[in-house]
A and B are shown apart, each in its own frame.
Chain A
Amino acid sequence: MKRCSILFVLVAATASLGCKRATPTNGDAGTSRASEATREQVLRGIGECTASEVASFATKAATFGQKANAAATVPSDATRKEAQDAWVAAIDQWERLEVMQFGPAATKAHPGGQDLRGSIYAWPLTSRCLIEQQIVSKAYEGATFSTALSSSRGLGAAEYLLFYAAPDNACSAGATINADGMWNALGATEIAARRLAYAGAVATDIAAVGTKLNTAWDPAQGNFVNELVKSVRGGSIYKTDQTAFNSVSDALFYVEADVKDTKVAHPLGILNCTTPTCPEGVESPYAKRSLTHIVNNLAGFRKLFFGCNDGNGQAFDDLLDAIGASSINTSVKVALEQAEAALASITSPDLETAIAQQNDKVRAVHTALKKLADVLKTEFVTVLDLELPQRVEGDND
């Protein structure tokens, strides 16, 4: 009994010593709090930031709908240019939102997901041949067009329809529209007119989905921000606040799989490319805005990670500061700034040209993005204990 008492005292003393030693300063991350943010405040900040970005997109999508339909009604170089400019404004805003694919924009497998992103921008699932088949069939005039394959709708389809002027098509010679001579029978003028008419239908659809998305986020209507906030106390579609954080962090990984790998590494020839480079794999082959899209993706990432209003809004950086993991913020900031600087240093007009003429600079973008992705996949998910959504049971071994 006496031995047990001595053992207990020793154990308790060691534990107490461990506490005292470990708490004040520890490791690289340190424990000093640079922020007093709470998890609820951070989720609210992220939600409000996303809601404001969605509202901005809805406005731009509505304008695009008007301009594209005006061009379809009165085809001219001027109306076409106005539609193109409206498309640019809409896609620029949407590229910021690409990094915010949680909640209503996400697929139905995610909490609150309504699969709205697919109807707005299905990239990389854009099928030029399918669009051209529908130009021939005028399927875009049908009542069910809004439920047609997303690879023939959305901003990706609109890019082709508004920016591609040549009268050829991408379907094989054996495809019906070529084998039966239907495409050639249309003639260049009719093809141009139908492309504009198709663009009008696509833009109308995008505007409607943009409104639906905005309705879901709007504090006066769907108020999805509240779902994020409620996750802290219960009664939300997110079972816990940790689930909500998981959902948002999953969206952040867009910069890895989509930006680093698909938008940069693949065209650069270092991923899934059997030839030295694969410039045909760029995101925006017709409007030549692939570089700008990446810039906007990173701008969206910056907002989601560091907060809206030039970083003054509450976001992940505040949570990391609050727990004493500011070093991760620094790592993310450094990698992000390196990627942004590398992008800014590219003087070529588009990514295809940059890959050919400024290959080292595009590689620098990739290197910086990899650094960013590595921090996210290692330290970031570790300190916040973020999990993959598909996680099944485990015992952490």
Chain B
Amino acid sequence: MIERLRRALEKQVDASGVAVFRMAFGVLVVVSVIRFFAYGWIDELYTKPKFFFTFWGMSHVTPLGGRGMHTVFAAIGLLALMVAIGAFYRIAIVLLFALFTYVQLVDVTNYLNHYYLVSLLAFLLCFTPANAKWSVDAWISPERARQQLPAFYTYLLRFQITVVYFYAGLAKANVDWLLHAQPLNIWLNARTNTPIIGSLFALPHAAYVMSWGGFLFDTTIPFFMLQRWSRPYAYAVIVIFHVFTQVLFPIGMFPSIMATSALIFFEPDWPRRLLAYVGIKVDEAKAASQAAPINRIALSLVLLYCAIQIGFPLRHRIYGGDVSWHEQGMRFSWKVMTREKNGSVTYNVTDPETGRTWEVLPRKYLTDRQLRDFSTQPDMILQLGHHVGEEHSRRLGRKVRVTVDALVSLNGRPAALLIDPNVNLLDIRDGMGLARWILPSPRNAPPHFVPVS
């Protein structure tokens, strides 16, 4: 079994598929960086905020200031361009992975699943000789150019994309999504006047059809892409699906990244065949000399990576309850577009010596954009609570007590308390354990709303 797996992984395949993946990946990151500059997001996300939420265990990651962050983004853009053209690829992709991951770690409110995916793909590309073909490196050093690569690299990238789609689908396998069509019912009701397709959203069962469609699409599409017979149709569905979501929702680069990444499912020689089809003849892939076999350590590390990718998104199962409510295990789990959630947070600071209590509003510390993400996520509420407590304790010269009034509405349900309002946040340390200070989710079903044009 292991031997068969090893043989399959070591099988030599055309390198052009991976080469095009590298180019597309680089171009998409360049486009992302251009968008950050064009829309002023670098200042908005990294300079304007006065407070940054750190990931657990990553409190040492801080922004570099306005000029520093602009430089970092410029560097990311340049490195991505180098990756796209395959110039000094190895150095470029390693630095790109490091810098891109750094900017994602600066503030939790910036977390997006598709940026996490970009980091993971960059990580995988660090170990992939994606510059073997159609690259400046191969042009400069023809002796290092290769027409073929072990299939292992393609399989690993396919595995990563499969994980994203499948878990994004699995995240939708819940009562709200499948039985109550929420939050799609809410989202579609707000778009009933979208040109051409809007009237469809006003149909009574539109949200159900789309909820089930989305669930079935995500959970099955990678497997249809893995089958040769269904691949072209499946890819057409992928393109239509992502164009549709791009039109409807402000999800930025996500559709482009997914639609482009899915090209890795095609046969590794697809670019060569496509070029031949349009009349452009390129060098034939010659049989390569026997590649060095994958050693046991490398194989073990790959299997470990795969195990982490399969296991980590499921960690919310350990915590129990509704992950959309308590958010423990929400990030890095491909739970894309699974909930509509809004909150209202007010801290109450008490001076134990005088008994005086006053309010502290999160907007004093956060931008509007941060505020919206923060107000529904307990770990961030705790983190800012600590900051508020420390600030007021310093000012008064004695330790204050900080409680929070955090109300949240999930998928249209009446607002409920997210965090125990009697708990002193300063007594709580964030961690990976079960957070008992988070109150249970409301047990009632979400309402279903009537579409109005």
Contacts and interface: CB of A to CB of B under 8 A. Distances in A.
Interface of A: 11, 14-15, 18-19, 21-23, 26-31, 33, 37-39, 232-234, 240-242, 245, 257, 261, 265, 269-273, 276, 319, 322-325, 327, 331, 370, 373-375, 377-379, 381-397
Contact of A39 (B178, B193, B330, B346): B193
Given A11-B216, A265-B359, A18 B178 contact: yes
Contacts of A387: 250
Contact of A396 (B41, B208, B337): B337
B212 A23 contact: no
A272 B392 CA distance: 12
Given A15-B209, A19-B181, A397-B338, 11 more contacts: A18-B180, A29-B447, A240-B191, A331-B414, A384-B190, A385-B186, A385-B189, A388-B369, A388-B372, A393-B252, A395-B112
Contact of B346 (A28, A37, A331, A370): A370
Contacts of A241: 193
Interface stretch (B143-151, B276-284, B305-313, B404-412): B404-412
B229 interface: no
B415 A26 contact: no
A81 to B, nearest CB: 40
A323 B449 CA distance: 5
A100 B141 CA distance: 67
Contact of B452 (A23, A319, A327, A388): A319
A394 B205 CA distance: 26
A391 B252 CA distance: 11
B446 A397 contact: no
A388 B368 contact: yes
A374 B251 contact: no
Given A378-B407, A395-B254, A390 B368 contact: yes
A240 B190 CA distance: 10
B356 interface: yes
Contact of A383 (B35, B253, B412): B412
A242 B445 CA distance: 26
A374 B342 CA distance: 10
A181 B45 CA distance: 49
Contact of B449 (A19, A272, A325, A375): A325
B250 A394 contact: yes
A395 B447 contact: no
Interface in B345-391: 346, 356-361, 363-364, 367-369, 371-372, 375
Pick from A234, A265, A270 the residue with the most CB of B within 10 Å.
A270
A377 B342 contact: yes
B423 to A, nearest CB: 19
Contacts of A386: 190
A322 B448 contact: no
Nearest to B251: A395
Q: For this complex, into which size category does the number of interface residues on chain B fall? A: 35 or more
Interface string B396-409: 00000000000111
B402 to A, nearest CB: 15
B330 A397 contact: yes
B359 A22 contact: no
A273 B358 CA distance: 9
Contacts of B414: 28-29, 327, 331, 379
Contacts of B412: 27, 29, 325, 379, 382-383
A327 B449 CA distance: 12
Contacts of B448: 22-23, 26-27, 31, 324
Interface in B173-219: 178-181, 186-187, 189-195, 204-205, 208-209, 212, 216
Interface in B46-67: none
B179 A382 contact: no
A39 B112 CA distance: 32
B116 to A, nearest CB: 9
Contacts of A233: 193
Contacts of A240: 191, 193-194
Contacts of A388: 368-369, 371-372
A394 B252 contact: yes
Nearest to A242: B190
Pick from B249, B338, B446 the residue with the most CB of A within 10 Å.
B446
B450 A393 contact: no
A163 to B, nearest CB: 31
Interface in B299-355: 330-331, 335-344, 346
A276 B351 CA distance: 12
A322 B452 contact: yes
Nearest to A319: B452
A360 to B, nearest CB: 15
Pick from A38, A370, A397 the residue with the most CB of B within 10 Å.
A397
A397 B111 contact: yes
Contacts of B253: 393
27 contacts: A11-B212, A15-B208, A18-B179, A19-B181, A23-B204, A23-B448, A27-B413, A31-B448, A234-B195, A240-B193, A242-B191, A261-B361, A323-B451, A325-B412, A379-B414, A383-B186, A383-B412, A385-B189, A388-B369, A389-B368, A390-B367, A392-B39, A392-B369, A395-B113, A395-B251, A396-B338, A397-B330
B453 interface: yes
B44 interface: yes
Contacts of B252: 392-395
A265 B363 CA distance: 15
A265 B254 CA distance: 42
A379 B444 CA distance: 15
Contacts of B335: 397
A29 B414 CA distance: 8
Contacts of B330: 397
A320 to B, nearest CB: 9
A382 B341 contact: yes
Nearest to B175: A18
A261 B338 CA distance: 33
Contact of B415 (A273, A375, A395): A375
A374 B415 contact: yes
B452 A37 contact: yes
A270 B358 contact: yes
A392 B44 contact: yes
Given A26-B447, A271-B358, A396-B338, A378 B344 contact: yes
Nearest to B41: A392
B336 A395 contact: yes
B114 interface: yes
B409 to A, nearest CB: 4
A38 B453 contact: yes
B26 to A, nearest CB: 20
Contacts of A14: 178
A261 B447 CA distance: 31
Interface in B405-453: 407-415, 444-453
A113 to B, nearest CB: 17
